[in-house]
Amino acid sequence: MFLTQTVPRQREIVEVLLRNGWDYMRRLLTGGKADEPQLPTPAVLKNILVDLGPVYVKLGQLMSTRPDLLNAAYIEELSTLQDEVPPVPWSDIEVVIRKQLKHPLEETFAKINPVAVAAGSIAQTHRATLADGREVALKVQRPGIDLTVAQDIALIQGIADLVARTEFGQTYEIKSIAEEFTKALEAELDFTREAGFTDQLRRNLAAGKWFNPTQIVVAQINWDLTTAKLMVMEWLDGVPILSANLSGHKNGKDADEERKAITTLLFRAFFQQLYIDGFFHADPHPGNLFYLKDGRVALLDCGMVGRLDPRTQQILTEMLLAIVDLDAQRCAQLTLQLADSTRPVILARLENDYDRMLRKYYNLDLSQINFSIIIYEILQVARNNKIRLPSNMGLYAKTL
């Protein structure tokens, strides 16, 4: 058995695995022989993560950004994980806020709504009014979550140590993957990091030349009040974009024109992030895209961002062109340029795999091709050929 200092939690994990029927991991955790890895089905894996609690739900969400590690069925299932848990009582949240403030709460805020507008595994959000009358959102870290994350990270690393002894663990460098995930979990606990990302995204989009930068909004951060456990930002009044009522005549447009204008705005804004800035919002699901009352569009929640260096941007741009040309040979060459490892690769096999993959897109018009799906397929071909690509490729595919 592993990590004896966390035996109660370890026993709980084994019970969850038994209850959900993941025999491979049960044998591994109890010292049995388990050389050939057997992942549970996508639905069972999702159930296991939900049963294990909020930190593992967050881990599942991070895993859903890694099509370089998991196939499409797992990515799709894990992408549905909802980071929603019952909110912490206001009395406990108030204690956290008071500890983070330099001045008394009563002097800082004119009003705070004690009912959370959203609650997740790491934090919950409350609407408030500053003493000067400005409306703000308070993102407050859940009390004690740092200790829970530290304990679960120790367990994740312990499991990775065990899996690393198998052939599967060595082939896929499981310890370095676990290290990536645990660093990402730890980073979620520092809200100044997210606040910095928010500022950077707002500056980048404000300089947009391909779209009207006044039509896209990223919340202003109040740095005087923001700490590692409390983020205070401008309140943006709107609704998730798929809930927006476009039946009116905002900006003189009818609903169809408005829908087309928003689509074009978002497309150009994300194109700039990916291929010009090399810094992008990596979790643009519909709940993080808000349609504001004044007709502008807001990007929310910059906790997950991706970065692409100029060389990678160039390779990915060439990859899009190679896909358009259905050029399997070029796709193979570009994949090897992106590769993270120096493991020997049979080039002819890689080219043949890409040729088979691209063949189904012959005779299709460009407008009929979903580039995100093709990028996922390229990552899967690379994985099947044991090529390890940088982790930001998963975020790139998810964002695209």
Q: Which residues are catalytic?
A: 283
Find residue 280's DSSP bridge partners: 306
Could you give the angle at the alpha carbon of 392 between the alpha carbons of 391 and 395, nearest 5°? 110
**Residue of 327, 326, 328, 398 lying closest to 365 (CA atoms):** 326
CB 275 within 8 A of CB 311: no
**Residue whose structure tokens are 């403030």:** 101
| Nearest CA among 15, 24, 20 for reference residue 163 | 24
Q: Cβ(353)–Cβ(44) under 8 Å?
A: no
Q: How large is the angle between the packed helices 191-206 and 255-272, nearest 10 degrees?
A: 110
Query: Max CA-CA distance within the chain?
Result: 69
User: 232 — phi, psi (to 5°)?
Assistant: -115, 125
Two tokens at 148? 């829970």
Q: For 221, which DSSP code?
A: B
Please give the distance of CA 327 from its chain centroid, rounded to a whole number: 30
